Amino acid sequence: MKLIDAIKEAEEKKVAIGHFNISDTEMLKGIFSAAQKLKLPVIIGTSEGEREFIGVDQSVALVKSLREEHNYPVFLNADHTYSFEKAKEAIDAGYDMIVYDGAKLPFEENLETTKKVVEYAKSVNPDIVVEAELGYIGKSSKLLDAIPEGAQITDEHLTKPEELKNFVKNTGVALAAPAVGNLHGMLKNAKNPAINIERVKQLREAGGVPMVLHGGSGISDDDFVKAIEAGISVVHISTEVRVAYENGIKIGLQENPDEIAPYRYMKDAVHNVEKVVEKRLKLFNKL
Active-site residue set = 79
What sign has the CA pseudo-torsion 82, 83, 84, 89?
negative
Task: List, as one string, the DSSP characters of 151-195.
Answer: ---SGGGSPPHHHHHHHHHHH--SEEEE-SS--SSEESSSPPPPP
